[in-house]
Amino acid sequence: MLHVDLDQFIAAVEVLRRPELAGRPVIVGGRGDPTERAVVSTASYEAREYGVGSGMPLRIAARKVPDAVILPVDAEAYLAASDEVMSTLRSQPGATVQVLGWDEAFVGVELDDPEAYARRLQQAVLDRTALHCSVGIGDTLVRAKVATGFGKPRGVFRLTADNWLEVMGQRPTRDLWGVGAKISRRLAGHGITTVAELAAADPEVLAAEFGPRMGPWYGELGRGEGSRVVDDTPWVARGHSRETTYQRDLTDPAEVDAALHALFEQVWADIVAEGRPVVGVTLKVRYAPFITTTHQRRIATTGDRDVALASVEALAGDRIEPGRPVRLLGLRLEMPMPEEAREGHTPTRSGW
């Protein structure tokens, strides 16, 4: 199985539209205005050399690279480019494609020379879209995904059971797909700091720390194990979310309430388009200067707009701290998966 990851995808799309930007540090984020509150969506390799990365406040990125070209996010252009890439992958002989996002996908195929196939695949993507990609080859999805990092940019790398610990063993656990800084700190609390140590960790210790399901799963990650099947079943959203960073902190409770209602209407429109009810609410609040809290609540299954809104209002009333300046609000509405919602109910703006 192969993992295909487009190199600096968003920045590369922008450079294709503006060839004069080739070789220059390009940063994409927000509305392209570093004086506004926004974060970096992506940066070209030239900008990354200065320490710019995704999620960094745009104003800080601008300070790091004063001569950078800063562009606004154009989601429609990136989606169109992504569709062309995924179509190209699906057209390859014998390929089963599992899309992971705009810029990456797994490709399952039976063959004797995966490196040669990967090179042909890279060329096919380049010929059709003028975009470069890197390809990881593995005998599990985890190993293929991790391998891609060693192939960047524009390269091919293979990770299998034979060389997994040789390549990954002494690397920190945070280098694994699915292990972030928080999990790596918790592992370090048990003396587990490297991939090899995680691979050899006592399953009972992991289960005690992370639970009976996640504990063994982290052990599998350490060994590079996991699924060996590329699943091309169309992806189904478990929820829809929107968030807004406000250019001025919201201090009046009426402002916060109005902003929350505006977010709700945007998310509810997405829910209506799905035709599924709501079963949960997640509220994200970032207070000034940069303190973020997240609150969740399960609710009785509903497709009625007013009931869902009342649940959002109740959660906000309980959790948003009055008097604290609000920098960002985010709202997510969770839906049951199709097999969980076969009641025939369809949410509408006025209810079922």
d(CA 55, CA 39): 5
Are the CB atoms for 335 and 279 separated by under 8 Å?
A: yes
Are the CB atoms for 184 and 173 separated by under 8 Å?
A: yes
Whether 104 is catalytic is: yes
d(CA 86, CA 319): 42
Q: Tokens 């309980």 map to which residue?
A: 318
The secondary structure of residue 21, as a DSSP letter, is G
Least Cα distance to 80 among 102, 106, 104, 105 occurs for 102
For residue 18, give the amino acid letter. R
Tokens of 72: 């606004």
Least Cα distance to 103 among 130, 85, 123, 118 occurs for 85
Residue 32 half-sphere exposure toward CB, CA atoms < 13 A: 10
Are the CB atoms for 243 and 330 separated by under 8 Å?
A: yes
Give the active site residue among 104, 197, 225, 334.
Answer: 104
Least Cα distance to 114 among 4, 6, 220, 223 occurs for 4
d(CA 205, CA 242): 38
Cβ neighbours around 199 below 10 Å, total: 20
d(CA 283, CA 293): 8
Are the CB atoms for 5 and 85 separated by under 8 Å?
A: no
Cβ neighbours around 3 below 10 Å, total: 31
Cβ neighbours around 352 below 10 Å, total: 12
d(CA 99, CA 90): 10
d(CA 226, CA 39): 33
- Report, as residue numbers or ranges, the catalytic residues: 104
